[in-house]
A and B are shown apart, each in its own frame.
Chain A
Amino acid sequence: MDLLRFITAGSVDDGKSTLIGRLLYDSKSILADQLEALEKQTKNKDAGEIDLALLTDGLRAEREQGITIDVAYRYFSTPKRKFIIADAPGHVQYTRNMITGASNASLIIILVDARNGVAEQTRRHSIIASLLKIPHVVVAINKMDLVEYSQDVYNNIVIDYAEVARQLGLEQVTYIPLSALKGDNIVEKSEAIDWYDGPSLLELLENVETKQDTNFSDARFQVQLVIRPQTDELHDYRGYAGRVTSGVYRKGDAVTILPAGITSTISKLEAGGEERDEVFAPQSVTIHLADDIDISRGDTIVHSSNQPAVQNELDVLLCWMDEKPLQPGNKYYLQHNNRLVKAVVRQVDYRLDVNTLQQLPVEGGVKLNEVVKATIKTASPLAFDAYAKLPSNGSGILIDETSNSTVAAVLYQ
């Protein structure tokens, strides 16, 4: 059994909450007492069936206003897979939340209202999927019951979206006509949509191939902390603890420690306290080196034959996430996985319209939810890859020095 993390993009109006509610309900992940609480709440509203959307509204303010403010995580499993859903709001003022939810997803479900077709927000969600390189895109054409399950409506939306996918370079796109409210093509294949011969949504989620999503060719590892027990029996023990974010490491590999550029050899590998001959992504491991070198948190250990860039000037895309606007010239901390360095945003080149991909001039500061192309200079060099090539070593966050808030997602170009 393996694990699939996915995000659902869409707003309440598209039936996103109903879709998730339906997935949980029809896959029997909702238990009797949770259902009872739901029925109790539904009674106060319109009569009729229970309101599945209520299942996913977490906080009191959200329930009162009938909206989703923040990313919520939901869990369900089938005998084939465990699923983690990042349930993120879809309106433009919540782009920040969507990027947060999308950052760990390997699949995105983009909800399209069959009555409206490809809309502005469909484009925006697709642009975010392409910026963040989410490997799999599922276009869920919802509310088919409201267009009389028309194959023509479906076909036209597929044609329209294919053009969006082409422009954005989205490769693995799957289309499913469904009705979250009626349960058509969610878990069971729909009888009303007999002209569609693809899988139901759950069948697709269970079977989508994820092996290629992890890069096993470019090995990257950052030191989280140095383990030195310094007891009598472990006097000389010195292990570098961290996570293999991509690739494979083997005992005897010739490695280089970055940014210093010192070389050594892997003398021992451990995972969970046990010795291993090889370790691979995404394991948490401990690496030992043949030479006594001064290594600390944030240093990167890579194969000498396959190294990332080491620079202190970076071209980046910034997704701004703070109420306080970005002022070019301001100093921040840049956290690149386990490495924290001081950084200054030197120059902001242009703003990317997340609805159209147009490059627009930046006037004044960069505001919440805006995506810009910028140049960052760091106080010491960073060992990084381009996000497009290796997201796990191509991303960082900016932290405000004074408020300590996370103010931006950083994607290295």
Chain B
Amino acid sequence: MDQYQLDYLAQLEAESIYILREVAAQFEKPALLFSGGKDSITLVHLARKAFAPGKIPFPLVHIDTGHNFPEALAYRDQLAKDVQATLVVRKVEDTIREKKLTEPKGKFASRNWLQTHTLLDTIEEFGFDACIGGARRDEEKARAKERIFSVRDEFGQWNPKLQRPELWSIYNGRIHKGENVRVFPISNWTELDVWNYIRKEKIELPSIYFAHEREVISFEGQLVAVSDFIRIDEGDVVERKQVRYRTVGDMTCTAAVESAAATLDEVIDEITATRISERGETRIDDRVTEAAMEDRKKNGYF
């Protein structure tokens, strides 16, 4: 029966496509949350396959912190055009102004936490009942316990103690008015699975994932790109280094990795060999407390 053997990437793909189709079938108004990072790019690729030859039956939604890498924004616009998807962009900047929110201050003042406000407003504005995200369970301890269909109350809050049992491949997407479901089709993928899939499927990525020269400062061992969004203090040394990004998020809280890896093969070789996790190496915002992610999720974050 060797002919009917699917390799692990094909199995993961089949599962993710199944989940995306469940979302389209069970919900009235789903949306795909697109960050410009490799995980959400992979999601768009999977969605394309799931509904081919038709178009992706939901919009791509970007919650824009205003602190993006320009390369990621250019990539986003081109991708939406290529797949003929509706692109909805809502800016954290506007939420801050309209709701008079207090912006965090400090060296790397991140709007990551404020994103949740804009996200919840956007969900309400469009009446989205399901939001598809690219989170993976291998990323973080709290995510390891979250369901693939994760029901959130009208405040977007995750209640880890009241999760629905998720049995076999049966996804219960029934909700009350006002609630919504966060859906994570690539829950069972690891960082390396995503990279290997990108290579197998020849998915194009924004250039910042590959080695390039950039002005950075070093902060507690992490390299942060010099931009208008961070404060350069007197003691900081601005250096020009060859770097690449392992994750792509807000410029203020995503760190770069020193690297000469210019091709996908070289990047995958480096990631295979690394002894530091994706979030540990590149996310400044998760290092605050042991339960940083758990707390954010309970407040409506992804």
Name A272-290 residues within 8 Å CB distance of B. Answer: 272-273, 280-284
Contact A234 B54 (CB under 8 A): yes
* Residues in A whose Cβ lies below 8 Å from that of B13: 272, 284
Q: Are B11 and A3 in contact (CB under 8 A)?
A: yes
A283 and B14 form a contact (CB under 8 A):
yes
Cα(A245)–Cα(B51), bound, Å: 19
Instruction: Place the interface of chain A in its size category.
Output: 35 or more
A106 to B163, alpha carbons, bound, how many Å? Answer: 24
Within 8 A of B (CB), among A225-271: 225, 227-229, 234, 237, 241-243, 245, 248, 270
Bitwise, B187-204 to A at CB < 8 A (1) or not (0) is 110101100000000000
Is the pair B18, A243 in contact by a Cβ cutoff of 8 Å?
Answer: yes
A70 to B144 CA separation, bound complex (whole angstroms): 10
Q: A281-B4, A395-B170, A399-B172 are in contact. List 16 more A-B contacts (CB 8 A).
A: A2-B6, A2-B11, A59-B291, A60-B291, A82-B8, A103-B167, A224-B22, A225-B21, A227-B54, A234-B53, A237-B54, A270-B52, A284-B50, A333-B174, A397-B167, A406-B164
Q: Are A73 and B188 in contact (CB under 8 A)?
A: yes
Tally of chain B residues near chain A (CB < 8 A): 61
Instruction: Flag B1-13 by CB within 8 Å of A: 1 or 0 each.
Output: 1101111101111
Q: Is the CB of B172 within 8 A of A335?
A: yes
* Interface stretch (choices B75-83, B210-218, B269-277): B269-277
- A328: min CB distance to chain B, Å: 21
Q: How far is the CB of B203 from chain A (nearest CB, A)?
A: 13
CB <8 Å contact, B141 and A399: no
Set of chain B residues within 8 Å of A104, measured between Cβ atoms = 168-169
Contact of B167 among A41, A63, A72, A99 (CB under 8 A): A99
Decide if B145 touches A338 in the complex (CB within 8 Å): no
Answer yes or no: B142 CB below 8 A from chain A CBs. Answer: yes
Known contacts A1-B7, A58-B141, A216 near B165 by CB under 8 Å: no
* Stretch of A6-14, A26-34, A140-148, A310-318 at the chain-chain interface: A26-34
Which residue on B lies nearest to A395, using beta carbons?
A: B168
Q: Shortest Cβ distance from B195 into chain A, in angstroms?
A: 13
Contact B174 A31 (CB under 8 A): no
Least CB distance from A70 to B in Å reads 5
Does B161 count as interface, using CB distance less than 8 angstroms? Answer: yes
Q: Are B170 and A337 in contact (CB under 8 A)?
A: yes
Tell me if B178 is interfacial: C-beta within 8 Å of chain A.
no
Instruction: Kindly provide the distance from the CB of B140 to the nearest chain A CB, expressed in whole angstroms.
Output: 9
A176 to chain B, nearest CB (A): 24
Are A58 and B144 CB-contacts (below 8 A) given A31-B275, A211-B5?
yes
Contacts of B22 in A (CB 8 A): 224, 338
Please tell me if the beta carbons of B193 and A82 are within 8 angstroms of each other in the complex: yes
**Does B248 interact with chain A (Cβ within 8 Å)?**
no
> Does B55 count as interface, using CB distance less than 8 angstroms?
yes
Partner of B7, one of A2, A70, A333: A2
Q: How far apart sit A203 and B14, CA to CA, in the bound complex (Å)?
A: 27
Alpha-carbon distance A248/B290, docked complex (angstroms): 48
Docked complex Cα distance between A61 and B18 (Å): 33
Query: Does the CB pair B18–A284 fall under 8 Å?
Result: yes
Q: How far is the CA of A70 from the CA of B160 in the complex (A)?
A: 9
- Please determine whether A409 and B165 come into contact, CB atoms closer than 8 angstroms: yes
A255 to B12, CA, bound (A): 28
CA distance A245 to B142 in the complex (A): 30
Q: Tell whether A122 is near chain B: CB-to-CB under 8 Å.
A: no
| Contacting residues, chain A, for B281 (C-beta < 8 A) | 33
- List A contacts of B4 (CB < 8 A): 214, 216, 248, 280-281
CB neighbours (8 Å) of A245 from chain B are 169
- A42 at interface by CB-CB < 8 Å: no
Could you tell me the distance in whole angstroms from the C-beta of B181 to the nearest C-beta in chain A?
A: 11
Q: Which of A70, A216, A297, A336 is the most central at the interface, judged by chain B CB atoms within 10 Å of its CB?
A: A70
Report whether B14 and A284 are in contact in the complex, using a CB–CB cutoff of 8 Å. Answer: yes
**B266: which A residues are within 8 A, CB to CB?**
none
Query: What are the residues of chain A within 8 A of B170 when measuring CB–CB?
Result: 335-337, 395-397
Bound CA–CA A1/B138 (angstroms): 19
Known: A33-B277, A284-B50, A397-B172. A58 touches B142 (CB 8 A): yes
The reply on A69 being an interface residue by CB < 8 A is yes
CB distance from B86 to the nearest CB of A (A): 16
Question: Is residue A389 contacting chain B, with contact meaning CB distance below 8 A?
Answer: no
- A77 contacts chain B at the CB level, 8 A cutoff: yes
Other-chain contact of B25, A58, A100, A297 (Cβ < 8 Å): A297
CB of A97 closer than 8 Å to a CB of B? yes
Residues of chain B from 118 to 167 with CB closer than 8 A to chain A in the complex: 137-138, 141-142, 144-145, 160-161, 163-167
Q: Mark A366-397, 1 if CB is under 8 A from B, else 0.
A: 00000000000000000000000001100111
Between A and B, 8 residue pairs with Cβ closer than 8 Å are: A31-B280, A59-B145, A70-B160, A225-B21, A237-B54, A284-B50, A335-B170, A391-B168
Chain A residues, CB < 8 A from B17:
272, 284
Decide: B145 and A58 in contact? CB cutoff 8 A: yes
B274 to chain A, nearest CB (A): 7
A100 with B142, Cβ < 8 A, contacts A283-B14, A399-B172 known? no
**Assembly CA distance A211 to B174 (angstroms):** 35
Q: How far is the CA of A104 from the CA of B172 in the complex (A)?
A: 16
Residues of A within 8 A of B261 (CB): none
Query: Taking the complex as formed, is A84 at the interface, i.e. its CB lies under 8 A from any CB of chain B?
Result: yes
Is A331 an interface position by the 8 A CB rule?
A: no
Contact flags (1/0) for A69-96 with B, using CB distance below 8 Å? 1111111010001101000000000001
Cβ contact of A229, chosen from B54, B188, B294, cutoff 8 A: B54
Q: How close is B42's CB to chain A, nearest CB, in angstroms?
A: 14
A391 to B277 alpha-carbon distance, docked (Å): 37
A306 at the interface (CB under 8 A from B): no
Check B174–A404 contact: CB distance below 8 A: yes
A96 nearest in chain B by CB position: B165
The smallest beta-carbon distance between A18 and chain B, in angstroms, is 17
Q: Is the CB of A224 within 8 A of B6?
A: no
CA distance A214 to B6 in the complex (A): 11
List A contacts of B176 (CB < 8 A).
Answer: 404
**B29 in contact (CB, < 8 A):** no
